[in-house]
Chain A
């Protein structure tokens, strides 16, 4: 019954709107405004011109207000060294484009308002002005050159080779979570192979490799404050992307193609908790490449420790293989199979 009532009132509303439309059309015929060329009637031009000006002023004010209002939520707390460079470059560029934005929008709306049709007026025949055109080609070219230079310098710094003493963390994306591995006390990650993956050995680590014996896989990432951290990123199924919003870090995780990104955390989790006044604050890892059903839920925690805390944490970790010794027994058999498998593929290759 209620749906019927709603339906009926919508129909009635549409009928009323249609009648208003017809009355408006007939009235304009009666007034004779249909006899004039379209766009030259006085009231219609006045209304549209005024609305354009109103849109400029009202829209500009709404934009300024909402921007200021959203400012605090917009700026994610910053916790890395290179993030300070990109943030400052971002806001510098925003100011540059902001100036252009304000000037061009004002000119657009003001010209439209100011030069609206008048019967007695005639437009100014002004097909080109080479000097003017050269000037306004050169200005953006110079500004762009400066921005490219600044961007290129920052980009080159960020993507330069990681320092040799960087803390190495391997991050692997899978549907729909992150797996993390540390190289352990030898500082070397053991080999890994997608064919070795099973329910326990989710990263497919090759435990016949001596370097893998001390690798450990914690449930959250820990990194020391003020030291370079090198993320070695890979994926085992589809493309994911490691995103650390507070560190201004993002790099895709691509199956079959390891990637990397290094950064220096500049604030510990504890410091950030005091700064934001949020005792629950945690650095988070998110996925930013569409990867399926759980794309929006690939959350992982990253903790920035003071260097001494980090050493303590490191000492408290036990290697993965110690936690799962049954894997090793199973694994020795597996490796034999693996060797056989590799041999057979080699034979195929030689045949080819």
Chain B
């Protein structure tokens, strides 16, 4: 198997040099304002990792408060200044921390960092295209994201603090600076940043969709696409349909805040005066927000479905079980994700009949999700599993997805949601299913495609250390939160000691905080491994995982245009692993059936 690798490598190398003569890009064109999808993907990846550390750091700070509510943290004063008074976190600062943690993780890391990296990197490489449909729009997408990032980051340093009304920014709290100081300049910058972020997402999304539809190489029919591409394709469609709704919600909120309109405001008396606003509906914002917000969680998790399916199939050395069922379930999930948003609103006073409808629609989603889990398990069954770091993360992803997904069956039930709504049960549920699981999917993708991105391997041993510490701490943090949630502990509480009902579990909360700090520290191992391997990692071969998809037919360091010669033609689906009769346990997509007569199935003989 290694001999084939080397020969591909050689061919490509000569051609690559020739290819290079065509272009003389300066530094800015090549690395900064690049229109090459691979460079843009790396830019999104670096951005995502940066934001991941910021978001994780914020969570460590508020976990300190929750773990040791009586302690003083004087050592934080040099960093946070006025937000720490006599060693105690300011309660509004605490709310700002949880708000920014949520915003950063959901949007900047798991939407931009995840889709931005892997959709950009893999779509052209895996469908056999030279680049995205519009390289220029793609570049704009990153730089608008960059601008949104700067504004959001800047808002962290305002003296009145960043937005503090929760990542869902429900008005009137987010509309009235009198209600919380974060709703002043911090909220304005949040809205501006998010508006730009949405523009970036739409530019990216249009590009992904167009590229998948139009630029597939010869032979690459939709039913020969790797599941990653199906996942990115559906993610982009979800984003394209739902982000504009968030945009309008944000726009109306801007009007209410700055121009005296009353879209969301009515009958309010605050700071000693009754406001003139009348006739608005605070619930309207929630409907608009969750019309994006619910598809958003699938925007976060769908790409990782694709990544994990691909990595599990490759490393089990088996075709993904039920390829069409996997596509079907992703289609089903995407469709359903648009009609379940109000399950976030069972106790807002919405008509109970609507609650019944949304409960019914929500629980249907469990069916395609269950199918996906069963198919992953069936793929592992009788495989010949290679434990690469990526594969470890993929296996753990399935575990976390099961653990977090199952409690969704409880929360989707409106009768049970009465008690559990806005408690730590919800926190435990969504952190496992779309937080930890999505992060594991992202790590899985980084470890797996690192050789194609940087031409070097990440260190596997450090990868395993990183994996085990992260996996352990993910469960240690989020499993106990279920207990706290069943006891009814409300979320976004600065401290629970004021209530007799919530005056328990203090030890458990300290334990969770210790686990969270452990988990955060373990990410430094990843950071070291990532940066070190970019420069000093072992050199990769063209196809180090012996994978079937097209990106591994490119040179080790694919140049501009990806393939130095002609774009390969596709003859088969991407999952011909361990096919009986084949000499190797993998047959790449670009190998024609005429070359694999020994392993062709009866119906494939006609295609020889």
Are the C-beta atoms of B274 and A73 separated by less than 8 Å?
no
> How far is the CB of B218 from the nearest CB of chain A, in Å?
24
Are the C-beta atoms of A204 and B325 separated by less than 8 Å?
no
Are the C-beta atoms of B316 and A123 separated by less than 8 Å?
yes
Residues of chain B lying within 8 A (CB to CB) of residue A45 = 386-387
Are the C-beta atoms of A122 and B384 separated by less than 8 Å?
yes
> How far is the CB of A188 from the nearest CB of chain B, in Å?
21
Cβ contact of A294, chosen from B91, B382, B392, cutoff 8 A: B91
Chain A window 227-271, contacts with chain B (Cβ cutoff 8 Å), 1 for yes, 0 for no: 000000100111101010110111110111111100000000000
Question: With contacts A93-B409, A241-B347 known, is A115 near B382, CB below 8 A?
Answer: yes
Are the C-beta atoms of B321 and A112 separated by less than 8 Å?
no
- Residue A144 at the B interface, CB < 8 A? yes
Question: With contacts A37-B1, A90-B410, A93-B416 known, is A112 near B172, CB below 8 A?
Answer: no
Instruction: Please measure, in the bound complex, the distance between the C-alpha atom of A67 and the C-alpha atom of B487, giving whole angstroms.
Output: 12
Question: With contacts A38-B545, A127-B321 known, is A122 near B367, CB below 8 A?
Answer: no
Question: With contacts A151-B415, A175-B270 known, is A124 near B382, CB below 8 A?
Answer: yes
19 interchain pairs, CB-CB under 8 A? A21-B462, A34-B538, A49-B387, A75-B487, A86-B419, A108-B376, A112-B395, A124-B578, A125-B319, A140-B370, A147-B363, A155-B356, A156-B356, A194-B274, A236-B269, A238-B173, A245-B488, A250-B422, A252-B347
- Residue A306 at the B interface, CB < 8 A? no
Instruction: Please measure, in the bound complex, the distance between the C-alpha atom of A287 and the C-alpha atom of B318, giving whole angstroms.
Output: 52
Q: What are the nearest 6 A-B pairs in CB distance?
A: A39-B386, A256-B266, A259-B349, A159-B352, A124-B382, A123-B578
- Residue B53 at the A interface, CB < 8 A? no
Residues of chain A lying within 8 A (CB to CB) of residue B578 = 122-125
> How far is the CB of A119 from the nearest CB of chain B, in Å?
9
- Residue A11 at the B interface, CB < 8 A? no
Interface size on A, residues (CB 8 A): 116
Instruction: Please measure, in the bound complex, the distance between the C-alpha atom of A23 and the C-alpha atom of B275, giving whole angstroms.
Output: 69
Are the C-beta atoms of A144 and B364 separated by less than 8 Å?
yes
Chain A window 280-322, contacts with chain B (Cβ cutoff 8 Å), 1 for yes, 0 for no: 1110101111111111110100000000000000000000000
- Residue B535 at the A interface, CB < 8 A? no
> How far is the CB of A304 from the nearest CB of chain B, in Å?
15
Instruction: Please measure, in the bound complex, the distance between the C-alpha atom of A347 and the C-alpha atom of B544, giving whole angstroms.
Output: 79
Cβ contact of A250, chosen from B347, B460, B491, cutoff 8 A: B347
- Residue A195 at the B interface, CB < 8 A? yes
Are the C-beta atoms of A299 and B498 separated by less than 8 Å?
yes
Question: With contacts A117-B385, A243-B488 known, is A86 near B269, CB below 8 A?
Answer: no
Question: With contacts A108-B402, A239-B173 known, is A151 near B486, CB below 8 A?
Answer: no
Are the C-beta atoms of B283 and A154 separated by less than 8 Å?
no
Question: With contacts A59-B475, A155-B355 known, is A90 near B387, CB below 8 A?
Answer: no
> How far is the CB of B113 from the nearest CB of chain A, in Å?
25
Residues of chain B lying within 8 A (CB to CB) of residue A241 = 347, 421-422
Q: Which residue of A lies closest to B465 (CB)?
A: A21
Are the C-beta atoms of A156 and B352 separated by less than 8 Å?
yes
Stretch in B206-214, B242-250, B251-259, B500-508 touching the partner = B500-508
6 more CB-based (< 8 A) A-B contacts, given A70-B480, A70-B483, A296-B495: A73-B505, A111-B380, A115-B384, A175-B270, A246-B501, A256-B281
Instruction: Please measure, in the bound complex, the distance between the C-alpha atom of A109 and the C-alpha atom of B400, giving whole angstroms.
Output: 12
Interface centre among B323, B381, B490 (most CB of A within 10 A): B490
Cβ contact of B325, chosen from A67, A133, A197, A295, cutoff 8 A: A133
Instruction: Please measure, in the bound complex, the distance between the C-alpha atom of A125 and the C-alpha atom of B316, giving whole angstroms.
Output: 11
> How far is the CB of B85 from the nearest CB of chain A, in Å?
13
Are the C-beta atoms of A159 and B180 separated by less than 8 Å?
no
Are the C-beta atoms of B282 and A257 separated by less than 8 Å?
yes
Chain B window 367-393, contacts with chain A (Cβ cutoff 8 Å), 1 for yes, 0 for no: 100110111111011111111100110
Chain B window 445-481, contacts with chain A (Cβ cutoff 8 Å), 1 for yes, 0 for no: 0000000000001011110100010011001000110
Residues of chain A lying within 8 A (CB to CB) of residue B360 = 148, 152
Are the C-beta atoms of A101 and B410 separated by less than 8 Å?
no
Are the C-beta atoms of B383 and A115 separated by less than 8 Å?
yes
Residues of chain B lying within 8 A (CB to CB) of residue A248 = 418-419
Are the C-beta atoms of B281 and A257 separated by less than 8 Å?
yes
- Residue A52 at the B interface, CB < 8 A? yes
- Residue B575 at the A interface, CB < 8 A? yes
Instruction: Please measure, in the bound complex, the distance between the C-alpha atom of A96 and the C-alpha atom of B581, giving whole angstroms.
Output: 43
- Residue A4 at the B interface, CB < 8 A? no
Question: With contacts A39-B315, A296-B496 known, is A89 near B416, CB below 8 A?
Answer: yes
Residues of chain B lying within 8 A (CB to CB) of residue A158 = 415, 418
- Residue A350 at the B interface, CB < 8 A? no
Are the C-beta atoms of A74 and B487 separated by less than 8 Å?
yes
Instruction: Please measure, in the bound complex, the distance between the C-alpha atom of A195 and the C-alpha atom of B492, giving whole angstroms.
Output: 31
Chain B, interface residues (CB within 8 Å), range: 35 or more
- Residue A94 at the B interface, CB < 8 A? yes
Residues of chain B lying within 8 A (CB to CB) of residue A154 = 415
Interface centre among A67, A100, A123 (most CB of B within 10 A): A123
Instruction: Please measure, in the bound complex, the distance between the C-alpha atom of A73 and the C-alpha atom of B461, giving whole angstroms.
Output: 41
Residues of chain A lying within 8 A (CB to CB) of residue B1 = 37
Instruction: Please measure, in the bound complex, the distance between the C-alpha atom of A66 and the C-alpha atom of B481, giving whole angstroms.
Output: 11
Instruction: Please measure, in the bound complex, the distance between the C-alpha atom of A51 and the C-alpha atom of B580, giving whole angstroms.
Output: 31
Instruction: Please measure, in the bound complex, the distance between the C-alpha atom of A112 and the C-alpha atom of B315, giving whole angstroms.
Output: 11
Instruction: Please measure, in the bound complex, the distance between the C-alpha atom of A75 and the C-alpha atom of B410, giving whole angstroms.
Output: 16
- Residue A210 at the B interface, CB < 8 A? no
Residues of chain A lying within 8 A (CB to CB) of residue B194 = none
Instruction: Please measure, in the bound complex, the distance between the C-alpha atom of A147 and the C-alpha atom of B360, giving whole angstroms.
Output: 9
Are the C-beta atoms of A108 and B172 separated by less than 8 Å?
no
Residues of chain B lying within 8 A (CB to CB) of residue A133 = 322, 325, 371, 374-375
Instruction: Please measure, in the bound complex, the distance between the C-alpha atom of A238 and the C-alpha atom of B545, giving whole angstroms.
Output: 55
Q: Which residue of A lies closest to B348 (CB)?
A: A252
Question: With contacts A74-B487, A124-B578, A141-B367 known, is A238 near B416, CB below 8 A?
Answer: no
Instruction: Please measure, in the bound complex, the distance between the C-alpha atom of A251 and the C-alpha atom of B281, giving whole angstroms.
Output: 17
> How far is the CB of A206 from the nearest CB of chain B, in Å?
13
Are the C-beta atoms of B423 and A288 separated by less than 8 Å?
yes
Are the C-beta atoms of B321 and A126 separated by less than 8 Å?
yes
Residues of chain A lying within 8 A (CB to CB) of residue B377 = 104, 107-108, 111
Residues of chain A lying within 8 A (CB to CB) of residue B170 = 239, 289-290
Are the C-beta atoms of A255 and B266 separated by less than 8 Å?
yes
Instruction: Please measure, in the bound complex, the distance between the C-alpha atom of A260 and the C-alpha atom of B348, giving whole angstroms.
Output: 10
Are the C-beta atoms of B318 and A97 separated by less than 8 Å?
no
> How far is the CB of A50 from the nearest CB of chain B, in Å?
11
Instruction: Please measure, in the bound complex, the distance between the C-alpha atom of A34 and the C-alpha atom of B320, giving whole angstroms.
Output: 28
Question: With contacts A123-B382, A151-B359 known, is A48 near B415, CB below 8 A?
Answer: no
- Residue B146 at the A interface, CB < 8 A? no
Residues of chain A lying within 8 A (CB to CB) of residue B274 = 194-195, 197
Are the C-beta atoms of A175 and B179 separated by less than 8 Å?
yes
- Residue B9 at the A interface, CB < 8 A? no
Which B residues between 277 and 324 are near A, CB-CB below 8 angstroms? 278-283, 315-324
Residues of chain B lying within 8 A (CB to CB) of residue A141 = 367
Residues of chain B lying within 8 A (CB to CB) of residue A281 = 500
Q: Which residue of B lies closest to A93 (CB)?
A: B410
Are the C-beta atoms of B347 and A39 separated by less than 8 Å?
no
Are the C-beta atoms of B384 and A121 separated by less than 8 Å?
yes
Instruction: Please measure, in the bound complex, the distance between the C-alpha atom of A154 and the C-alpha atom of B359, giving whole angstroms.
Output: 12
Residues of chain B lying within 8 A (CB to CB) of residue A260 = 349
- Residue B185 at the A interface, CB < 8 A? no
Q: Which residue of B lies closest to A33 (CB)?
A: B460
Instruction: Please measure, in the bound complex, the distance between the C-alpha atom of A295 and the C-alpha atom of B494, giving whole angstroms.
Output: 8
Residues of chain B lying within 8 A (CB to CB) of residue A254 = 282-283, 348-349
Are the C-beta atoms of B366 and A144 separated by less than 8 Å?
yes
Chain A window 49-82, contacts with chain B (Cβ cutoff 8 Å), 1 for yes, 0 for no: 1011001000100010011001001111000000
Q: Which residue of A lies closest to B352 (CB)?
A: A159
- Residue B585 at the A interface, CB < 8 A? yes
Q: Which residue of A lies closest to B180 (CB)?
A: A292
- Residue A332 at the B interface, CB < 8 A? no
Instruction: Please measure, in the bound complex, the distance between the C-alpha atom of A118 and the C-alpha atom of B383, giving whole angstroms.
Output: 10
- Residue B406 at the A interface, CB < 8 A? yes
Are the C-beta atoms of B500 and A73 separated by less than 8 Å?
no
Are the C-beta atoms of A126 and B268 separated by less than 8 Å?
no
Are the C-beta atoms of B504 and A38 separated by less than 8 Å?
no
Question: With contacts A86-B416, A108-B395, A288-B490 known, is A147 near B316, CB below 8 A?
Answer: no
